[in-house]
Homo-oligomer: A and B are copies of this chain.
């Protein structure tokens, strides 16, 4: 943001910080600040408090990485889930999208991003070691790689496949019912359900 003297420093700070978030730019940061400033102060403070509470309470599940208020998430601690299948996703919201379909009853593993040499994201930045550890503990029959059908998502799936291929388990990739370049969490339930149904062994 260009240095305009009349912009209050705290407002400039907010816009600078928010516009550094992935997917945000100066205009969307301005819009967020403006929205908060334009609403009744009590309501705006309530939103800030909720964000603060979220940061206090929500952490990744120590097993699978899903965001949860507990140490171990409800899925990992459930006795009704199939504990022999792990579905690997990039982010928590991808898992939520799959849950919406009601077509998956196994466990999840959130790697927390995607391999991207351009952005300097390497395997060490992702929660992959823990996945291998879970598989090595035994009892896992299948790992479904449900990273996004994008270049980075494919690279991530491929990297994980290579780590798992000799472990005597089935490794499958979520089916291409999804158009290349799409974002998994935006897919409609039907497409996502089809993609799960037609998963193919690698």
Residues in chain A within 8 A of chain B (CB atoms): 2, 4-11, 13-14, 17-18, 21-24, 27, 30-39, 41, 44-48, 50-55, 57-58, 66-69, 73-75, 91-93, 95-96, 99-100, 112-113, 185-186
Contact = CB atoms under 8 A, between A and B. Distances in A.
Contacts of A66: 6
B55 A45 contact: yes
Contacts of A185: 27, 30
A8 B95 CA distance: 13
A120 to B, nearest CB: 15
Q: How many copies does the complex hold?
A: 2
A5 B100 CA distance: 10
A135 to B, nearest CB: 22
Given A48-B55, A185-B30, A23 B11 contact: no
A14 B99 contact: no
A2 B48 CA distance: 23
Contacts of A45: 52, 55
Nearest to A57: B10
Given A21-B32, A48-B48, A93-B30, A54 B14 contact: yes
27 contacts: A2-B100, A4-B100, A6-B73, A7-B96, A8-B57, A8-B58, A8-B68, A10-B50, A10-B58, A10-B69, A11-B58, A14-B50, A21-B35, A22-B31, A23-B31, A23-B35, A24-B35, A27-B185, A36-B51, A37-B55, A37-B58, A38-B91, A38-B112, A38-B113, A41-B55, A48-B48, A48-B55
